[in-house]
């Protein structure tokens, strides 16, 4: 099996599983309990919070554990709503290429509360320019959300410049960094001075069902899930997922340590993959185009258009050959509609339906990528011949 869908999820690192196992077996205490079992579990949660804080370059009390990126994104929008209304900030801005968890949360917020939603378009390469964001915001803008790395194209946005423009207007800034984690240093101090940042464990070889929200000032948030005041600083009620949190902390620690090595490897392998795809396409007489500016992409992700080749049929053919890729976000995999992200970039409906996402990991070998490139083009040619 050749797995090239790491933007959807990544395999669990054995070292992460080892960290989790005690809390799935004999160390089963509730972190809220005062006895030895509870104290043991609380220490595991506190240790993981410190590991994630190092990953974010922030204080541990600025880390809120969640069930993943979707919950973290929703907590930003609905958790800040009352604070924004108190400040008389009735405008919300998001980009047109956001993940569905931001897109739908923002639209729902504006249905339930008296907010006005503004959509900032990307350029033809898929990048959301700081100047485009600046045009959308005003003195009544309360919250701006632009993702750091796009989940479908891998295009990177200049979040530092966007945050600067927003802060000059007094707006809070959120970035969905789920796809950036593991390939970029998520320094919320000097590199990305945002107010909120979300990450998800299972994108960096950690367990599913856990993630974190960085909140520069957690006091502006209100909980989505009410419960114990001591659980996640009163911002997320419910007994903590100790095993998942411990595994997430370990995954963050490993990602921080191995970041540079993985980045170099992924950059080299993605270049080789592009070359192999283009060579095979030329040999087979198949047209291939890259969606987005490859010079401004995370090395983890590549979105390619094979004009005249239905992506869903191509994916099924490749699956039969034990090669796994996707047509875009896993959250929309069963929707028979062209990608909203690609359409926002100006890609036609037809070409959007002919596009696939290839997402890599440090676990992929050069031989796997060579094989995948040949099979992708061979299957595309077979479909075109029909």
The dihedral through the CA atoms of 266, 271, 273, 274 has a sign that is positive
Residues 87 and 205 in one domain: yes
The structure's pTM equals 0.95
Residues 35 and 180 in one domain: yes
CATH code of the domain containing 155: 3.40.640.10
331 annotated active-site: yes
Domain coverage including residue 75:
14-254
DSSP letters of 254-271?
Answer: HHHHHHHHHHHHHHHHHH
Q: State residue 146 phi and psi, 5-degree precision.
A: -135, 130
**End-of-domain residue from the set 238, 254, 270:** 254
d(CA 93, CA 116): 8
Tokens 């980045």 sit on residue? 263
Based on the structure, what is the number of domains in the chain? 2
Residues 119 and 241 in one domain: yes
Indicate which residue of 110, 331, 354, 379 is catalytic: 331
**End-of-domain residue from the set 193, 225, 254:** 254
**In angstroms, how far is CA 1 from the centroid of its own chain?**
24
Neighbours of 209 (CB within 10 A): 17
Task: Give the pairing type, strands 211-215 and 301-305.
Answer: unpaired
Tell me the pLDDT of the chain (386 aa) as tens digits.
999 999 999 999 999 999 999 999 999 999 999 999 999 999 999 999 999 999 999 999 999 999 999 999 999 999 999 999 999 999 999 999 999 999 999 999 999 999 999 999 999 999 999 999 999 999 999 999 999 999 999 999 999 999 999 999 999 999 999 999 999 999 998 899 999 999 999 999 999 999 999 999 999 999 999 998 889 999 999 999 999 999 999 999 999 999 999 999 999 999 999 999 999 999 999 999 999 999 999 999 999 999 999 999 999 999 999 999 998 655 555 566 899 999 999 999 999 999 999 999 999 999 999 999 999 999 999 999 87
Residues 271 and 244 in one domain: no
**End-of-domain residue from the set 196, 229, 254:** 254
CATH code of the domain containing 337: 3.90.1150.10
Tokens 């922030």 sit on residue? 58
272 and 369 Cβ atoms separated by less than 8 Å: yes
Phi/psi class of residue 355: alpha, beta or left (left: φ > 0; alpha: ψ in -120 to 50)?
beta
């Amino acid at each position: 099996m050749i797995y090239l869908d790491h933007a959807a999820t990544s395999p669990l690192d054995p070292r992460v599983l080892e960290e989790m196992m005690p809390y799935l077996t004999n160390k089963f205490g509730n972190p809220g309990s005062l006895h030895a079992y509870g104290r043991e579990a609380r220490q595991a949660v506190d240790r993981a919070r410190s590991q994630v804080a190092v990953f974010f370059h922030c204080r541990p009390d600025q880390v809120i554990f969640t069930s993943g990126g979707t919950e973290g994104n929703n907590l930003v929008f609905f958790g800040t709503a009352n604070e924004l209304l108190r400040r008389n900030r009735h405008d919300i801005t998001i980009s047109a290429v956001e993940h569905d968890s931001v897109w739908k949360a923002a639209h729902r917020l504006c249905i339930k509360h008296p907010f006005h939603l503004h959509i900032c378009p990307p350029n033809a390469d898929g990048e959301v320019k700081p100047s485009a964001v600046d045009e959308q915001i005003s003195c009544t803008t309360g919250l701006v959300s632009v993702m750091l790395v796009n989940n479908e194209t891998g295009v990177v946005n200049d979040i530092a410049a966007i945050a600067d423009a927003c802060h000059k207007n007094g707006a809070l800034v959120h970035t969905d960094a789920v796809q950036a984690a593991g390939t970029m240093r998520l320094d919320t101090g000097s590199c990305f001075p945002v107010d909120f940042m979300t990450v998800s464990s299972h994108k960096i070889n950690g367990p599913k069902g856990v993630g974190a929200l960085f909140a520069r000032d957690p006091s502006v948030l209100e909980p989505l899930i009410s419960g114990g005041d001591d659980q996640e600083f009163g911002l997320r009620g419910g007994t903590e997922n100790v095993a998942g949190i411990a595994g997430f902390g370990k995954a963050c620690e490993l990602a921080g340590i191995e970041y540079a090595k993985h980045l170099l490897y992924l950059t080299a392998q993605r270049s080789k993959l592009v070359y192999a795809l283009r060579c095979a396409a030329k040999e087979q007489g198949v047209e291939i185009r890259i969606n987005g500016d490859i010079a401004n992409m995370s090395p983890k992700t590549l979105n390619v258009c094979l004009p005249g080749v239905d992506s869903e049929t191509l994916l099924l053919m490749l699956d039969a050959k034990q090669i796994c890729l996707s047509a875009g976000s896993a959250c929309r995999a069963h929707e028979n509609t062209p990608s909203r992200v690609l359409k926002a970039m100006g890609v036609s409906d037809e070409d959007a339906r002919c596009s696939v996402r290839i997402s890599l990991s440090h676990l992929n070998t050069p031989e796997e990528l060579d094989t995948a490139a040949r099979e992708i083009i061979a299957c595309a040619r077979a479909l075109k011949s029909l």
